[in-house]
């Protein structure tokens, strides 16, 4: 469908609205009035005015557009590879690097659109991405390619300028031909900021900085990144405390646990957010809360790789900003934010009941939590003056029958069957009746072709049998 901007848009008579405002207001019926890119009026009252466009939201739930705070969009090209289906993180990474070495500009463009469209269909209006490897035979401007692909779809985008500087020859995990020197990383960071970074409210593109992990960059690069970000008002991001292997690596290499290492590197700051953060003790949770850091909780990936169950209730109680990330599609095999919300709620219930998360807990993580983690105050809630980023879900389907005594919670409990009906970003309708302006049939065809080519080239180069299942144990 076409994307268009209107001077005014009136949404009326919704089944339920979850505003996620400061008072956590919910209402049925009523209205949402959008003028240009912001919410002008919202409430349970009927608004009898003329608007340029009107949406009758009868039978629909309206939420703020969801915010995805951790992803590796290129990994949609390497979903479900047999060899890596049953591997934990370190061996999973080592084998995937051999396929990711085949990335091209076309591969990044197609996988970005595929990954973002998946997110949009589950109600995401803002996404980050963590692209940290730059094969020497590919263009060095892969993040530019991502940004242009996101602009075509109309989604808000906060890519991170990822980095790896330690290849295998220097004690790191990745091959030497996908890492970069620190000078190259810094110069490209400055270039991207000058070309794309927007500071103002309503910004559609913001750049953050993201060394990959403690085992793929130098401590000097970590400190340099933190200092540069602090001087320039930028967010910083990395993987942290994802697995026990990482914990053992940090103890052996630095004599510190991962959080202690972050403290030494000046990374325990309010502009930092971490992916995963599964293996934390009580003291680490406390210090993270005291420093107002952010977390991107990735329950599906944590389950897929057997990494563990993050202590989300304790993190929330410690006033840590907790958001949700679908993570890369090679460690999730899906980019569905509603499924991520459901999994976040359900995995918490494998613990004692006082640690359980509710449907509204995870909805808050996907909205207000995501905005806080990305350093944004203009999105993540439906309030007057905030950006008009909304997701509308049709609740009239078979899967929702009998669930409407609490329609907002139904969105999470029955999420496996949901798809967004209408998606609005900055006052623009970018999906209508579940359709985007992308040619999805052509996109899937190109995506599958590129994925097959990459796997074949990696097989020929390495002689690794990627299509053979590895036995468990």
Q: CA 123 to CA 265: how far, in whole Å?
A: 36
Contact 95, 466 (CB under 8 A): yes
Q: pTM of whole model > 0.85?
A: yes
Pick out the chain residues at pLDDT < 70.
Answer: 1-6, 416-418, 473
Angle (CA) 102 107 113, round 5°: 150
Q: CA 319 to CA 286: how far, in whole Å?
A: 9
pLDDT the model gives residue 79: 97
pLDDT the model gives residue 5: 45
Instruction: For the sheet with 31-35, list strands across it.
Output: 38-43, 31-35, 8-12, 53-56
Q: CA 298 to CA 374: how far, in whole Å?
A: 16
Domains, the chain, in order of start with CATH, read 1-376+386-473 (3.20.20.140)
360 exposure class (CB count in 10 Å sphere: 0-12, 13-18, 19+): middle
pLDDT the model gives residue 2: 37
pLDDT the model gives residue 215: 81
Contact 321, 292 (CB under 8 A): yes
């Amino acid at each position: 469908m076409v994307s268009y901007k209107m001077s005014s848009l009136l949404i009326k008579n919704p089944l339920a609205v979850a505003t996620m405002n400061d008072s956590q207001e919910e209402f049925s019926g009523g209205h949402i009035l959008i003028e240009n890119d912001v919410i002008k009026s919202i409430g349970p009252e009927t608004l009898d005015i003329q608007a340029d466009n009107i949406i009758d939201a009868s039978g629909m739930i309206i939420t703020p557009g969801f915010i995805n705070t951790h992803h590796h969009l290129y990994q949609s090209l390497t979903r479900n590879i047999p060899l890596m289906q049953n591997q934990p993180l370190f061996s999973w990474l080592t084998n995937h690097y051999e396929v990711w070495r085949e990335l091209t500009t076309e591969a990044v463009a197609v996988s970005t659109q595929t990954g973002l469209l998946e997110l949009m269909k589950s109600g995401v209006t803002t996404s980050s991405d963590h692209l940290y490897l730059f094969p020497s035979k590919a263009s060095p401007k892969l993040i530019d390619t991502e940004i242009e692909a996101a602009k075509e779809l109309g989604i808000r985008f906060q890519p991170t300028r990822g980095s790896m500087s330690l290849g295998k020859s220097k004690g790191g995990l990745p091959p030497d031909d996908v890492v970069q020197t620190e000078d190259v990383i810094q110069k490209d960071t400055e270039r991207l900021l000058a070309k794309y970074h927007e500071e103002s409210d309503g910004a559609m593109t913001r750049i953050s900085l993201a060394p990959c992990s403690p085992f793929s960059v130098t401590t000097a690069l970590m400190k340099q990144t933190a200092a540069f970000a602090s001087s320039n008002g930028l967010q910083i991001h990395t993987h942290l405390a994802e697995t026990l292997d990482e914990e053992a690596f940090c103890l052996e290499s630095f004599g510190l646990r991962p959080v202690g290492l972050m403290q030494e590197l000046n990374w325990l700051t309010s502009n930092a957010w971490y992916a995963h953060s599964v293996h934390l003790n009580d003291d680490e949770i406390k210090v993270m809360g005291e420093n107002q850091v952010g977390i991107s909780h990735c329950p599906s990936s944590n389950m897929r790789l057997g990494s563990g169950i993050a202590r989300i209730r304790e993190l929330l109680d410690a006033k840590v900003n907790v958001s949700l990330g679908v993570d890369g599609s090679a460690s999730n095999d899906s980019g569905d934010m509603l499924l991520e919300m459901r999994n976040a709620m359900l995995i918490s219930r494998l613990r004692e009941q006082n640690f359980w998360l509710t449907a509204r807990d995870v909805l808050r993580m996907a909205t207000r939590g995501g905005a806080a983690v990305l350093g944004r105050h203009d999105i993540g809630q439906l309030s007057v003056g905030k950006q008009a980023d909304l997701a509308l879900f049709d609740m009239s389907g078979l899967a929702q029958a009998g669930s409407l005594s609490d329609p907002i919670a139904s969105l999470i409990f029955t999420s496996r069957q949901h798809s967004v009906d209408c998606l609005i970003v900055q006052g623009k309708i970018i999906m209508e009746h579940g359709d985007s302006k992308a040619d999805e049939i052509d996109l899937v065809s190109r995506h599958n072709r590129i994925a097959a080519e990459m796997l074949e080239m990696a097989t020929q180069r390495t002689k690794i049998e990627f299509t053979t299942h590895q036995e468990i144990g």
